[in-house]
Chains A and B, each alone.
Chain A
Amino acid sequence: MPEFEPIIGRYLRISVQGIPYRIYFEEAGSGIPLVCLHTAGSDGRQYRHLLTDSEITKSYRVLAFDLPWHGKSNPPAGFQDREYRLSTQLYTDTIMTFCRAMELRKPVVMGGSMGGRIVLELALRHGDELGAVIGLEAADYQQPWYDTIWLHRPDVHGGEVCAALNSGNMAPHSPNESRWETLWGYMQSGPGIFKGDLYFYRVDSDFRDRVAGIDTSRCPVYLLTGEYDFSCTPEDTLRTGKKIPGSRVVIMERLGHFPMSENPAQFRKYILPVLDEIAGKKK
């Protein structure tokens, strides 16, 4: 007997801002839709442990899609003649188009890092369409710690340097195998993609003046950050949470910037109660 995992992968045709895309996504489970957003310069594989966790998939339909230019979602035709740059508007449009095309009713949207940043915007602008948002390593703003000029140039290997920059942004307790698997995602990113994502993250998404407008009675907000994240620090998340009345902040021990992939067993202890709470409210 073949040893299959419960994950099913498919391609979806959508059009975002008038440009056609072929989007790859994976899903497992049934129940409340839970859309998972990967970090900058990586892809949906980061969520493979959630997708295979029966404790989660018994009440959630977990979906993880690769953004265009990432993973198995190709860049658009003509990509070779333009520089990839993600913006707040493009990111928002892509996620909402995916949710609508999939006919998901009141999905919970969970994102890591830049995915955690965009869920704040989603809660603000599209809160009525969503069941809740969960920001992993999320804040309305954070201080940069390196120059993105090193990420896309012929004299430095993009995959190697993106992985090496991220290597220490995980907890030292996280299993070696999971840490390296997380870095493998960064090693595989196309040229300039991590840099293009960081355009959204660093330049186009300073939400410090916006997050106070989020209405958590329309769309509950959960923010979970690892104590070892020095990119989006616990202080960044706590500061953001204070500005959003009714939001819940959890600081996770022994986790860093990639909780879902760097140490799935440890992350589970924190995400299960949150998902149970959201499912309980829906009943």
Chain B
Amino acid sequence: MVEKLAELVNGNPSVVFRGRLVTTEVQILVGKDEYRIKIEEGRIAGVEEGPFLMRPCSITVRASAEAWGKFWQLYPPPGYQDIFAMTKKGEAEVSGDFRLLMQNLRYFKELLEAPRKLAKEGRHA
């Protein structure tokens, strides 16, 4: 799912616009699978799969494959519809540069939620 982020984000002009001041590299962990998302002015410039050795990144978001599976449903069950609903339940963890995250919170939330579009189109892997 994460590997499709470039297509999903770059194909949505309103998400790219929200992130127009964001240039960074973030990490998403799906269980033990590690992904790096390179962002340039809101566009996803690349998605790489790890492992990575001490490579810096600004923000890390971590959840189990099962929790992400629920989060990426078109209608997630209660408690899985929002990344902070998941952190409150202990189902996800967010760490790193919170100032960058809060300055661009809507952008990062929409980036994380982008795979729901695949569920809508029946393209879930």
Contact = CB atoms under 8 A, between A and B. Distances in A.
Interface of A: 143, 145-146, 150, 155-157, 160-161, 163-165, 167-169, 171-173, 227-228, 230, 256
A168 B85 CA distance: 8
A150 B102 contact: yes
Contacts of B105: 160-161, 164-165
A172 B76 contact: yes
Q: Which of A150, A164, A165 has the most CB of B within 10 A?
A: A164
Nearest to A226: B78
Contact of A164 (B78, B87, B88, B109): B109
Contact of A145 (B78, B81, B84, B103): B84
B82 interface: yes
A161 B109 CA distance: 11
Contacts of B81: 168, 171-172, 228, 256
Contacts of A160: 105-106
Interface of B: 74-76, 78-79, 81-85, 87-89, 98-99, 102-103, 105-106, 109
A191 to B, nearest CB: 15
Contact of B78 (A157, A165, A167, A228): A228
B87 A157 contact: no
A170 to B, nearest CB: 8
B109 A167 contact: yes
Given A143-B88, A161-B105, A230-B85, 7 more contacts: A145-B88, A156-B102, A160-B106, A164-B105, A171-B81, A227-B78, A230-B89
A243 B114 CA distance: 42
B99 A155 contact: yes
A53 to B, nearest CB: 26
A169 B102 CA distance: 17
A155 B98 CA distance: 12
B75 A167 contact: no
14 contacts: A145-B84, A145-B87, A156-B99, A156-B103, A161-B102, A167-B109, A168-B82, A168-B109, A169-B82, A169-B85, A172-B76, A173-B75, A230-B82, A230-B89
A146 B84 contact: yes
Contacts of B99: 155-156
Contacts of B84: 145-146, 165, 168, 230
Contacts of A227: 78
B88 A230 contact: yes
A157 B81 CA distance: 24
A163 B88 contact: no
A172 B84 CA distance: 15
A171 B84 CA distance: 14
